[in-house]
């Protein structure tokens, strides 16, 4: 079902201390959010237990990546079954840092998505164009292709376990953000690609990510096809993160 989600991706940041202080604050504030937003925290996997303990059920928890195997001799990897076993609900798949730094392809994204949904978790599948692609007028076609290929193995009953995050690569961690109108246009385009694929497009949550802060969240979240945000840097500041969650209009 389409729902409003604000997810904080800590990336390779944080500590036990941050897990205690930040999640303690978020846990205390999350109960007073009256706009129906689901708050998700995606810490480094090693802190998942700390975050879960501190969250006391007030927020959902996810992992930033899983391997493309179920188990075995893959030193350093964790599986989606393990993420589920540890108490997670979400898995980020295909974040642009995974694509750019670790060479993840759309084919690999598709394999991981299949494993994530098979284990009953929800995949937050990240897509987005580079600055060069945007400037060459290729943004929509690049993103459409990432959506088609990355979700090519999703079977009809599994769409309920898919969330998409549109994150223009040039906006991640740069302080530059897409205008609300440009983000809305891309989200509408993604929804039409999903429709073409036979997915229940109106039921799928589409998040925007890339330098979302308290001062630009309200404009982004008021767009009709933007169902929430994937927040990097600003999710490491408890007050800023909760402010972003509050900017969701209660009526949308
Ligand atoms: P940012 O990161 O908010 O720091 O730009 C977003 C993300 O990478 O998910």
22-68 per-position pLDDT tens digit: 999 999 998 888 888 999 999 999 999 999 999 999 999 999 999 99
**In this predicted structure, what is the pLDDT of residue 252?**
45
Is 143:189 a contact under the CB 8 Å cutoff? yes
Which residue among 101, 233, 234, 244 is best mutated to probe the pocket of ligand 1, counting the most ligand atoms within 8 A of its Cβ? 233
Q: Does some domain include residue 252?
A: no
Question: Stretch 4-11: mean pLDDT, rounded?
Answer: 98
Question: Stretch 175-202: mean pLDDT, rounded?
Answer: 96
Q: Which residue minimizes the CA distance to atom 9 of ligand 1? A: 232
Give the ligand 1 atom nearest the CA of 213. 3
Share of the chain above pLDDT 90, in %: 92
Q: Which residue minimizes the CA distance to atom 6 of ligand 1? A: 232
Q: Does some domain include residue 18?
A: yes
Question: Stretch 93-103: mean pLDDT, rounded?
Answer: 97
Q: Does some domain include residue 29?
A: yes
Q: Does some domain include residue 58?
A: yes
| CA 175 to ligand 1 centroid distance, Å | 9
Q: How confident is the model at residue 251 (pLDDT cuts 50, 70, 90)?
A: low
Helix boundaries (H) for the chain: 16-30, 48-55, 80-85, 96-102, 106-118, 131-135, 139-150, 180-196, 214-221, 238-246
Q: Does some domain include residue 250?
A: no
User: In the structure encoding, which two tokens stand for residue 141, read together?
Assistant: 């076609």
Q: Which residues line ligand 1 (CB under 6 A)?
A: 9, 167, 172-173, 209-212, 230-234
Looking at the structure of the chain, the number of domains it has is: 1
Q: Does some domain include residue 186?
A: yes
Q: For 140-161, what is each residue's pLDDT tens digit?
A: 999 999 999 999 999 999 999 9
Give the ligand 1 atom nearest the CA of 212. 3
Q: Does some domain include residue 251?
A: no
pLDDT score of 111 more than 70: yes
For the chain, the average pLDDT equals: 95
**In this predicted structure, what is the pLDDT of residue 169?**
95
| CA 98 to ligand 1 centroid distance, Å | 13
pLDDT score of 217 more than 50: yes
Exposure class string for 158-178: b at 16+ Cβ within 10 A, else e: bbebbbbbbbbbbbbeeeebb
| CA 176 to ligand 1 centroid distance, Å | 11
| CA 13 to ligand 1 centroid distance, Å | 12
pLDDT score of 181 more than 90: yes
187 is catalytic: no
CATH code assigned at 54:
3.20.20.70
| CA 29 to ligand 1 centroid distance, Å | 22
167 is catalytic: yes
Q: Does some domain include residue 166?
A: yes
**In this predicted structure, what is the pLDDT of residue 177?**
86
More confident residue, 172 or 10: 10
Domain with 92 in it:
4-245
């Amino acid at each position: 079902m389409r729902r409003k989600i604000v997810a904080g991706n800590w990336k390779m940041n944080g500590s036990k201390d941050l897990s205690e202080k930040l999640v303690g604050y978020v846990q205390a504030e999350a109960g007073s959010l009256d706009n129906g937003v689901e708050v998700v925290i995606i810490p480094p996997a090693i802190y998942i237990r700390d975050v879960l303990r501190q969250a006391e059920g007030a927020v959902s928890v996810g992992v930033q990546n899983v391997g493309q195997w179920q188990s075995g001799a893959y030193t350093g990897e964790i599986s989606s079954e393990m993420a589920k076993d540890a108490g997670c609900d979400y898995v980020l798949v295909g974040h642009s840092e995974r694509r750019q730094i670790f060479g993840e392809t759309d084919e690999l994204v598709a394999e991981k998505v299949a494993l994530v949904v098979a284990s009953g978790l929800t995949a937050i599948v990240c897509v987005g164009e580079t600055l060069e692609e945007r400037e060459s007028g290729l943004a929509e076609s690049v993103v459409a292709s990432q959506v088609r290929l990355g979700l090519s193995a999703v079977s009809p009953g599994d769409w309920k376990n898919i969330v998409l995050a549109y994150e223009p690569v040039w906006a991640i961690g740069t302080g530059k953000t897409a205008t609300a109108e440009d983000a809305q246009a891309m989200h509408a385009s993604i929804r039409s690609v999903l429709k073409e694929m036979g997915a229940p497009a109106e039921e799928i949550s589409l998040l925007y990510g890339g330098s979302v802060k308290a001062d630009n969240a309200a404009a982004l979240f008021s767009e009709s096809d933007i169902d929430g945000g994937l927040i990097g840097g600003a999710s490491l500041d408890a007050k800023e993160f909760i402010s972003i969650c509050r900017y969701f209009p209660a009526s949308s």
